[in-house]
Amino acid sequence: MAKFGESDDLAGAEFVGANLRGARFVESDLSGVVMRGIDLQGADIDAPWIVEPGGSLKVNGVEVSGYVEDELNRRFPGRAERRAKDPDGLRAAWAAVERTWATAIDRVATMPSGTADVSVGGEWSFAQTLRHLVHAIDLWFGRSVLEREDFHPLGLRYGVAGSPDHPPYAEVLEAHAGRFGLVRDFIATVTPAELDTARKNPHNAKPETTRSCLHVILEEAWEHYRFATRDLDSIAAS
């Protein structure tokens, strides 16, 4: 099986009559790809950014990003509020996130022991997903908003796949609850002026505000909930 990685530059490549049946593209840049006369039966596309403002995906000439966004909001009540701009809206948005994740955690508690550490298709396990959210909050809230440099030792940064360590799940739950609580307590008293306060982007020089940093955390929470429950469904079905 041929395998291509970051060192392989396939930008602008042309595939004519090529057999890509069963191929897997992970964290790859397919923006602007043009496909004509292709067989896409059974394809499974996960592209979170197509539903962001300005995102686009056309199938047979039909723009489908809006349909995808509406369906995701229907499936996940509360998701539509993730870009709320005022304090009350953000409080409601965060409360929805906490309720949603509490339901997922309760579900895992009813599944066979060890389910939280099961990886599906090389993706993060449920426990690793919780650990990544801990890191995301430390990065976009702890560092950018609170201007703290300490990171929870259980946090799992982006790009770390298949981490071999499996800390006790109870400790992961505690770390996750603690970081969610930090955000909840902050949003409970945040003011419009504080939401407009300029913040540093932890990755680059792009200007941010407290509001936009909270939006990133909300986006992370919803996208990873979708990934996590997708995999829980697979585990339950097997």
Q: What is the pLDDT along the chain (238 residues), one digit of tens a residue?
A: 778 877 778 888 888 988 988 888 887 888 888 889 989 898 888 888 888 888 899 999 999 999 999 999 999 999 999 999 999 999 999 999 999 999 999 999 999 999 999 999 889 999 999 999 999 999 999 999 999 999 999 999 976 555 567 899 999 999 999 999 999 999 999 999 999 999 999 999 999 999 999 999 999 999 999 999 999 999 999 8
Of 108, 89, 127, residue with least CA distance to 215 = 89
| Beta carbons within 10 angstroms of residue 41's beta carbon | 6
Q: Is the dihedral of CA 60, 35, 43, 56 positive or negative?
A: negative
* Interatomic CA distance for residues 143 and 146, integer angstroms: 6
Question: What values do phi and psi take at 133, rounded to 5?
Answer: -65, -35
Cβ–Cβ under 8 Å, residues 163 and 128:
yes
Inter-residue contact 159 to 191 (CB < 8 Å)? no
Question: pTM for this one?
Answer: 0.89
